[in-house]
Amino acid sequence: MFGLLKKKKQLASSAIDYNNLPEHIGIIMDGNGRWAKKRGLPRSAGHSMGARVLEQITRAAGNIGIKYLTVYAFSTENWSRPDDEVKALMKLIGEYLDDYRRIIGDEDMRVRFIGSKNGLTDDIIRKMHVVEEATKDNKSITLNIALNYGGRDEIVNAVRSVAQKVSDGELNVSDISEKLLSEHMYTHYMPDPDFIIRPSGEQRLSNFLLWQSAYSEFWYSNINWPDFTRADLERAIVDYQSRNRRFGGV
């Protein structure tokens, strides 16, 4: 086991401090459309290339030692995009789910989905369930795919769930706390993200992990997601490790 760990670390940047890794990284996979437009390609080509990059970055994160990776695949607001683009995205997601065994390979990767199932087809939901069940016992890295996800929607759903329990007499109003609300978020089974990466030049959260990112560090880059590489991931982690996280203290 030690030999395998050593081998994995040799694949990554020697500048990384393996005693100070972010446990949970969130990535807003932005810039697929701009990448395609720059090359005179349809936006769907950018999304396809972005899916390939996701495979590479997930493997890289696992090799480095990241325990949780949450990626923004499709937001609740993305339904407002042109029908052709939405259909292409859903087709790509379905193909990605069908091909999960090849994508994962021999990686000890658990795949989970966060977000609302409202609006998703029965076929997509079934495929999501198949992937989650098939990978549920894997432990090295958990890949959380935020699909039909919105941070505000998540908070509203959590509040509704808690309110229903108060109405049913299962909870008192005095029982409501940050910890209780966190336990009703989609991400209740993992720590909050230490670090959020957004390529493409935009510098906003865009409704991604609003509750969980209260004390996350951020890293922005002008690189469009389809051009994002393992070297960029390593560079971002090294930058994260240079920061002093005070969590409101001195």
Which pLDDT tens digits describe the chain residue by residue (250 residues)? 334 444 444 445 569 999 999 999 999 999 999 999 999 999 999 999 999 999 999 999 999 999 999 999 999 999 999 999 999 999 999 999 998 888 787 789 999 999 999 999 999 999 999 999 999 999 999 999 999 999 999 999 999 999 999 999 999 999 999 999 999 999 999 999 999 999 999 999 999 999 999 999 999 999 999 999 999 999 999 999 999 877 776 5
Q: What is the rounded CA–CA span in Å between residue 103 and residue 130?
A: 15
pLDDT tens per residue across span 100-115? 888 787 789 999 999 9
Catalytic choice (17, 19, 20, 30): 30
Q: What is the rounded CA–CA span in Å between residue 128 and residue 89?
A: 15
> Cα-Cα-Cα-Cα dihedral of 51, 57, 29, 220, to 10°?
-160
The whole-number pLDDT of residue 8 equals 46
Residue 30 known to be catalytic: yes
User: All domains of the chain, ordered by start, with CATH?
Assistant: 20-156+192-239 (3.40.1180.10)
Residue 138 known to be catalytic: no
Two tokens, residue 139: 């432990």
Q: What is the rounded CA–CA span in Å between residue 140 and residue 26?
A: 17
Q: Would you tell me how many other CB atoms lie within 10 Å of the CB of residue 160?
A: 11
- Beta-carbon contacts of residue 87 (< 8 Å; ≥ 6 apart): none
- Beta-carbon contacts of residue 203 (< 8 Å; ≥ 6 apart): 220
Catalytic choice (19, 20, 32, 78): 78
The whole-number pLDDT of residue 7 equals 44
> Cα-Cα-Cα-Cα dihedral of 148, 196, 130, 127, to 10°?
30
Q: What is the rounded CA–CA span in Å between residue 82 and residue 9?
A: 43
